[in-house]
Amino acid sequence: MSDQTGKQMSKEEKDARFEAELLPVLDPLYNFAYRLTLDEDDANDLVQETYLKAYRFFDYFEQGTNAKAWLFRILKNSFINEFRKKSKQPAKVDYSEVEGYYNSEDVEGESGVATTTDMRTESVQDLIGDEVASALNALPVDFRTVIILCDLEGFTYEEMAKILDIPIGTVRSRLHRARNSLKEKLEKYARSMGYND
């Protein structure tokens, strides 16, 4: 009985430590999962699985070290092993984001809310965001991954190398090719909007 209580206590302590150290990473981890899978349900499953794996291996996690990089690495491995096959193809664009934008415009128009300068600016910002998301989603997953890790999550090249299990030189060259590809897609969009350079 006392053994059981001791075990129970240690599990409670472990759970508390786990939640305190790893759950604050939930928001960036979910965003990463969504940008990899391009699907809310798959992102949900992937994040849950990542936390369960992290829990199983939590004894190997050194307290106070980079929890975010550790979780991102586990999630990336889970994605490659189990989710990659069923995830959406890169060519598919996330039309729900664009759709949401136009629908919200309609609703605002019908309710008679005056469009202030601020709201206009916000709408343009949203539209740029939609275009960036579409261009990013159309990239191959390896390219998408390095751009998200670097530009959205602010990981260093060294952290990215650890998360992705590749040398820093490969991080650099992949990032270079990924950005060139993204630039090409966004320039095509800019030209279609009448910007020549």
What is the binding site for another protein (CB under 8 A)? 11, 14-15, 18-19, 23, 26-27, 30-31, 34, 40, 43-44, 47-48, 51-52, 55-56, 97, 125-126, 128-129, 132-133, 136, 147, 150-152, 154, 156-157, 172, 175-176, 179, 182-183, 186
Minimum separation from the CB atom of position 46 to another protein (A): 11
Looking at beta carbons only, is 76 or 136 nearer to another protein?
A: 136
User: Least distance to another protein from the beta carbon of 30, Å?
Assistant: 5
- CA pair distance 78, 57, nearest whole angstrom: 14
Nearer to another protein by C-beta: 163 or 182? 182
Cβ at position 81, least distance to another protein in Å:
19
We find the least distance from the C-beta atom of residue 91 to another protein, in angstroms, to be 19
